[in-house]
Structures are given as C-alpha cells and as structure tokens.
C-alpha cells in the first residue's frame, strides 16, 4: 500500500478554510495527483484540510473520509509555565540545532524543550490513532514495525497538516519528533509518499518514495510561509 501524505493549501486559520490562494494550491495538487491510482481519500476533519482533499477528489469522485485523530496537534505549555517559543515544534527544533543538540536523541520527551510541552502528549496520542487506523487498513503494529494482514487498498491519500503529518511520520519511522520537524518543513500541498509492503504475514518497515515535493506550486505566487499548522 502507498500512502500519499498531502499538507493543506494556504489557509485562513481564523476561519479554518482555504484562501483564494489556497484553492489554487488545491487545484495544483489535484493536477499533480490526477494520474495516481488512488482508491481512497482520507483527511483531517479541519476545514482547511477537508477543502484541500475535496479538490483532489474532483478527479476521483471517491468522497473524503474524515479522521479526527489527524487534526493539527497542539503545542504550548502543559501547565501554564512559560516554555521556549510557546512550544512551537519547528522553533524548538531550530533551537536544539543552535545548541548543538542531537536531534536523533530518543529521550527527546524529557528535554527542557519538550517535557512540559503539549506537543509531546499530542504527538504520542496521534501515533496511537495512526496505528489504529493502519490496523484497519491491514497493518498491525508489532514493536517498531508492522505485520501485514489483509490489505484493503493499493494507493490512498491522506490530507492533513504540518504538525500532524510530522508526528505521524515520526511514529511510522520510529524517529524523534524534533528530527522530523527539522528535516521536513512541508510547504503548502507538499506531497510525501510512503510505501508499505503487501507481502502477506510479513513484518515490514515503511519506505519513503517521495519526500516533501511541492514543485507543483512553484509558479504560484506567495507560496512560502513561516508557520506550519
């Protein structure tokens, strides 16, 4: 099975919808994916993600299934005590780099930047939801890997957010969230493709096919941003 991760287009965060520019991004990623053998489209239930998914679905007519667990993750102080950069995961990753810290440290949850940051529990909770969803698609978590069962689809699309998709990929590949946030800063409608073997009964690890491809919006004005959500 292949999972095509897509970040939403340019949003109006206050209204949780796409802007006119975001709809252009949606059209562009729909064109980018129109020849993919998509069998199912999933999306975060946030409006900006659902609208992006609906653009993609215009080429397939499959309908969009909402996933509550893929809504954007929260960050900030867990108990009201001030935290660096209000807990913003990308700024925290940048800070760790500036301090010469190891982004691959498996004990990242206990670090000063994350032990009192809501993003830690939120990303772990998303990982649990992601595993439950994958099990329903034919992949059951066993330790750090997945056991292949009855695979339901060949290629699916999952539209979500910068933080939620980073947390999902961190969990899927057993990588620390700070590393993923540093390594992958998805642009609007950026495409990341992950492949999972369909060998019945095998214990498998996922593989990247494509990472963070946003070339389809390269010619669209004002595509860049500084906030990932």
pTM (predicted TM-score): 0.95
Q: Which residues on adjacent β-strands are paired with residue 5?
A: 158, 192
pLDDT for res 165: 98
pLDDT for res 46: 98
pLDDT for res 221: 67
Residue 181 and residue 92: Cα distance in Å, rounded?
9
pLDDT for res 226: 45
Residue by residue, pLDDT tens for the chain (229 residues) are 999 999 999 999 999 999 999 999 999 999 999 999 999 999 999 999 999 999 999 999 999 999 999 999 999 999 999 999 999 999 999 999 999 999 999 999 999 899 999 999 999 999 999 999 999 999 999 999 999 999 999 999 999 999 999 999 999 999 999 999 999 989 999 999 999 999 999 999 999 999 999 999 999 965 454 454 5
Tell me the two tokens of residue 190: 């950026």
């Amino acid at each position: 099975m292949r999972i095509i991760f897509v970040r939403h287009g340019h949003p109006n965060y206050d209204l949780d919808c796409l802007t006119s520019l975001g709809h252009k991004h949606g059209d562009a990623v729909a064109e980018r994916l129109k020849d993919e053998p998509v069998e199912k489209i999933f999306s975060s239930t946030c409006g900006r993600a659902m609208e992006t998914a609906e653009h993609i679905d215009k080429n397939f007519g499959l309908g969009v299934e909402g996933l509550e667990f893929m809504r954007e993750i929260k960050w900030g102080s867990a108990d009201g005590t001030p935290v660096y950069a209000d807990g913003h995961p990308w700024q925290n990753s940048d800070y760790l780099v500036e301090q010469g810290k190891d982004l691959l440290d498996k004990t990242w949850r206990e670090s000063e930047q994350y032990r009192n940051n809501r993003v830690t529990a939120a990303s772990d909770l998303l990982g649990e939801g992601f595993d439950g969803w994958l099990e329903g698609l034919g992949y059951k978590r066993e330790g750090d890997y997945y056991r292949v069962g009855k695979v339901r689809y060949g290629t699916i699309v999952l539209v979500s957010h910068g933080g939620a998709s980073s947390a999902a990929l961190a969990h899927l590949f057993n990588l620390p969230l700070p590393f993923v946030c540093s390594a992958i800063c998805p642009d609007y409608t950026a495409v990341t493709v992950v492949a999972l073997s369909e060998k019945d009964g095998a214990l498998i690890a996922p593989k990247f096919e494509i990472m963070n491809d946003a070339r389809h919006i390269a010619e669209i004005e004002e595509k860049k941003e500084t906030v990932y959500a």
